[in-house]
Amino acid sequence: MSDHVIHATDTDFDATVLQSEQPVLVDFWAPWCGPCKAIGPLVDDLADSYAGKAKVVKVDVQQYPALGVKYNVRSIPMLLVFKDGQVHGSQLGAPPNIQSLLTQMIEKAL
């Protein structure tokens, strides 16, 4: 697991994500989700690659379901890129090219 991944909760999501001066990739996931676990190392790699330029945040929707509801997370993994407090891009599921898709989403937000 990367030291650069931030685990957000209901109480700190706004400060961590919406008020961030950097773009933020948010991974909505759950511990029981196989595809979520499969892309976990890729998400960690992105956190390391973009350290200082963009944040990578994980939200466990099982622990914090209100955040999942707020952002209309009906299926996981769901990844959103936030910029200036707004959703700037989204990716649902874990297709084989997930790393390049997420990289493109982050690059567009930088």
Reduce the DSSP state of residue 60 to 3 states and report it. Answer: strand
pLDDT in tens, 48-83: 999 999 999 999 999 999 999 999 999 999 999 999
pLDDT of residue 13: 98
Q: Locate 68 and state its tokens.
A: 């999942």
Domains in the chain (CATH in brackets) are: 5-109 (3.40.30.10)
Hey, CA dihedral for 24, 102, 79, 81, is it positive or negative? positive
39, 46, 50 from 57: Cα distances, Å: 14, 11, 12
Phi, psi of 56 (to 5 degrees): -125, 125
Predicted confidence at residue 2, as pLDDT, reads 74
Residues forming beta bridges with residue 47, ordered by sequence position = none
Mean pLDDT of the chain: 96
Q: What amino acid positions are annotated as catalytic residues?
A: 33, 36
**pTM, whole model, 2 decimals?**
0.96
